[in-house]
Amino acid sequence: MTNVDDMDTVYVRELGIDDIAPIYHLGEELFTSDLYPYLYRTWDEWEVIGLYNTDPEYCLVAEIDGDLAGFILGTIITKASWTYGYILWLGVSPNFQRRGVADKLVDKAVARMIEDGARFMLVDTDPTNTPAVKFFNRKGFGNNRQHIFLSMNLSKHPYYGRLIDYEHQKAERAGYRRSRPAAIRARKPDGFANEVVLNPLVTEPQIDLKLNDE
């Protein structure tokens, strides 16, 4: 008989190259534009690839019974006398929530960062992501601050309108040039069916070109 505790055991390991695509797609499932616009705006495959290349020791994967249960992506930053850890991304699959996955990922990442000299930790999330805020508060993170993001609809900017007008005019000019004849041809003289008559407006000496009838 299989022990239920064994099935629920969370195994944490470093992220491997074969994990990049599954983690990216799990992030797409979690960080959606309708729920968390800020997270959706910044989440892409380069987040996973970049951190995998620069900080693999702080990029961890959690598995339960061989299935991807969650991930954490972090880094260490050193500025002057400060060395601090930064958790950039934390995601848990909806199929494995409330099984301690996030706890084990964060604990493992924090332990590694302490070992590597970090004495301060940062984490950020969308302010509307209440479950994440409560989770990090429970893990000891505090001193909450909100960062305000402002936006502008560039299609309403005056320069955008001028650029569109310019592109339309350029397209119209290009269409006009294409519609003009490439050259003005004179009527071929009678009896010279095989002779190519050059543009009579050209002032340079004329050269008759004969088609090869052989």
User: How many domains, the chain?
Assistant: 1
In a domain, 90, yes or no: yes
In a domain, 181, yes or no: no
Question: pTM for the whole thing?
Answer: 0.68
In a domain, 71, yes or no: yes
Tell me the torsion sign for CA atoms 38, 43, 46, 50.
Answer: positive
Provide the domain limits for residue 31. 9-137
In a domain, 193, yes or no: no
In a domain, 199, yes or no: no
Distance CA 146, CA 142 (A): 12
In a domain, 147, yes or no: no
Beta-sheet pairing, 195-196 with 67-79: unpaired
pLDDT value for 168: 86
Helix boundaries (H) for 36-87 = 37-42, 45-54
pLDDT value for 167: 85
pLDDT value for 182: 53
Q: Tokens in use for 146?
A: 């909100």
Q: pLDDT grade, residue 180 (50/70/90)?
A: low
In a domain, 87, yes or no: yes
CATH code where residue 108 lies? 3.40.630.30
Give the pLDDT mean for 180-204. 45
What would the pLDDT profile of 74-123 be if each residue is shown by its tens digit?
Answer: 999 988 888 999 999 999 999 999 999 999 999 999 999 999 999 999 99
In a domain, 77, yes or no: yes
Query: Exposure of 133 by Cβ count < 10 A (0-12 exposed, 13-18 middle, 19+ buried)?
Result: middle
